[in-house]
Structure 1
Amino acid sequence: MGSDGGPALITILALAVARVLQVCNFCPANSRRSRDSKSRTDDGSGEEEEALRKGSESTSRTDDASCEEYDVFLSFRGPDTRNGFTNCLYNGLRDAGIRVFLDDEELQVGKVIAGELSKAQDNSRIYIPILSKGYAKSSWCLREVAHMVECTSKSDGKKEILPIFYNLDPDDVKLKTKLYREAMTNHKKKFSSDDLKHWENALVEVARIKGWVLKGKGQREQIESIVEEVSRKLNTRHRIVTEHLVEDTAQLEAIMKLLDVGSSGVRFVGIHGMGGVGKTTLAKVMFNKLSIHFERSGFLEDVRASLQPHGGLLELQKKLLSDLAGDGVANQIKDVDGGIRMIKKY
């Protein structure tokens, strides 16, 4: 879909839409409470007692975390990244339609915090530990990262860890420098040697995983890269939309009514208007909201421009088939006629 004033067209293709929706079960969720409440303390001293004390103050969702499934579990140390990088990453993932567990906002009021966090980790698909300079100072964070390693090792490849090395190097996390070694030494006063060894092994294992090393780089670009990679792994196919977007609720509701997603069949909706009024942005927002309801989805952008070069139509066909059926099917087509036949098949 271009920005030259031509009509933008959303095409949503799905097989047995009603059947897909019928098998989806969602736990009801209530609105978020204040972001100012915290579910865990920020340093390594008295974490368990303080966290339990704050159970009645803790955050937002009043549904049981044991019945929720999350795409991503974010692990971080509050003083290092809470109000900066972590908050931006969390919002970026949520804007992309990704279900994120952030303990500040997802714990049930009055629940035993440690148990709820473990349930959230058990029900998450991807773990993102934000390994900052003070991460190893928190025994809470160390428990989280150890549980991540345990969950992934038992998942038969269904779960994975995507570490972020925030203003440090992987070697710091591998305990090759004094940064994390000193933090682990300080834990000897309160925890057993078995606990320390368990945590150290987890840190070293996570540090061996290829992730993102963020040092003196623009956070916005890095967050976009992380969101894209997570979306690719989750196959959410989300589209990046304009930052600080103000949604036109009336327009979105009107399109939702026209699409009638709960019904079976295929719907076509055309969005038209002058160039620059936000047709493509509106299409992207709708795509992000709806794609999670379908097993496969595709978004073809700048169609007119893509058709101009020789072979452009064939490449568009391959892009659509790749989204709907996978690269193996897309690579089978050799010409436009073959692409038409294959698209009809799927």
Structure 2
Amino acid sequence: MDMGNGSEAGTSGGEPSAIDYDVFLSFRGPDTRQGFTDCLYHKMLEANICVFLDEDKLHVGEEIDELLAAIQKSKIYIPIFSKGYASSAWCLRELAHMVDCKKSKPSEKEIMPIFYDVKPRDVKLKSQRYVSALEEHEEKCGRQTRLKWEDALKSVAQIKGWELKKQGHWKFIQSVLQEIVMKLKTKDKYVTEHLVGMDNPVEAVLKLLDMDSGDLRFVLIHGMGGIGKTTLAKMVFNKLNSLFNQCCFLGNVRELSTSFGIINLQKQLLSDTLGLGFQDQINDVDDGIKVIYSDFLTRKSCSF
């Protein structure tokens, strides 16, 4: 991110050296901080994604080390290319380090660029928009640094990313968030890998649900105990959860309702789908029914 005059950096919690991040946002503050980047950042937090964003002041002389450490500990890098991105030496340092980390651990790191108010051709240096900024950097940082930054820009510009174009921020951010959640698998339930004979049942349930229909559907999976009903439900949940803003998987319903009561299941459902504040609104089962009916069913959510 562009540090501006205050040389600030921060996180969604803790010090960069102590946390592994899901996402590192690289952006030029004056261009997008107060609008697009701030909205994207908070939507990621709501989705329980651990994201690095500049908030707290770093110690003088430690800015670069802490930023590089945060990049190294992140899984997904999202450079937000704006008109002034290349004018920031901070942004270009970050981008070059992202490319280096990706090269050293290609299976563990991913770069997902956003072309905010520029086109990929601008980042590929096929226009003067970024070239002029690089020429100015060369005077201060030298030829070798400029070439390294040029290579980083051209490399990332080849990656298929998102172009904001004329669509609204909200719809655009939702599509970005959906892709990130799918990559990170943050909502997925644990299922033993390489299960044999589950592909056909999963496809059968997906066909019954018919996600393109736009209808509200209930699918009953029944059978004797121990044949894999819960595993099947989890696998279907993992296939579909990235399509929804909020999701909830309620397992062992009979046992939990007997031991802890229906109200605790209602609270889990509301907490997972609407946030912690909603579960505080219910004191008994009737309250839960009313809140679920009025708030949960009017939103795009899924429950298993």
What TM-score range do you get, normalising by the shorter chain? 0.5 to 0.7
| Relative contact order, higher structure (CA 8 A, sep 6+) | 1
1:128 aligns with 2:144: no
Change (3 A) 1:39 1:60: farther
RMSD: 3.3
Matched ranges for 1:141-156 at <5 A:
141-156=91-106
d(CA) in 1 for partners of 2:286, 2:68: 46
Aligned with 1:251 (options 279, 290, 295): 279
Contact map agreement 1:60 1:108 (CA 8 A) in 2: no
d(CA) in 2 for partners of 1:276, 1:111: 55
* Code of the aligned partner of 1:225: S
Deviation at 1:246, TM superposition (A): 8.2
d(CA) in 2 for partners of 1:123, 1:60: 12
Give the TM-score of the pair, scaled to structure 2: 0.64
Aligned with 1:300 (options 295, 298, 303): 303
1:236 aligns with 2:186: yes
Deviation at 1:223, TM superposition (A): 0.1
Q: Which runs of no fewer than 5 residues in structure 2 stay unpaired?
A: 188-241, 247-272
1:191 aligns with 2:141: yes
Aligned with 1:175 (options 111, 125, 141): 125
d(CA) in 2 for partners of 1:270, 1:161: 47
**Counterpart position of 2:53:** 102
Matched ranges for 1:1-346 at <5 A:
40-41=3-4, 51=7, 59=10, 63-105=14-56, 112-237=62-187, 239-240=244-245, 247=275, 249=277, 251=279, 272-274=288-290, 276-280=293-297, 300=303
Change (3 A) 1:101 1:142: same
Contact map agreement 1:66 1:119 (CA 8 A) in 2: yes
Deviation at 1:168, TM superposition (A): 1.1
Deviation at 1:279, TM superposition (A): 3.8
Change (3 A) 1:72 1:281: farther
d(CA) in 1 for partners of 2:126, 2:157: 11
d(CA) in 2 for partners of 1:186, 1:139: 10
Paired residue total: 222
Between the two proteins, what is the percent identity of the paired residues? 41
Give the TM-score of the pair, scaled to structure 1: 0.57
Deviation at 1:189, TM superposition (A): 1.5
d(CA) in 2 for partners of 1:281, 1:65: 39
* Code of the aligned partner of 1:101: F
**Secondary structure in 2 matching 1:175:** coil
d(CA) in 2 for partners of 1:128, 1:167: 15
Contact map agreement 2:21 2:52 (CA 8 A) in 1: yes
Deviation at 1:103, TM superposition (A): 1.8
Change (3 A) 1:183 1:39: closer
Change (3 A) 1:248 1:199: closer
* Code of the aligned partner of 1:90: Y
Change (3 A) 1:270 1:276: closer
Q: Which runs of no fewer than 5 residues in structure 1 stay unpaired?
A: 1-37, 43-49, 256-268, 285-298, 302-346
Change (3 A) 1:174 1:250: closer
d(CA) in 2 for partners of 1:281, 1:252: 19
**Secondary structure in 1 matching 2:78:** strand
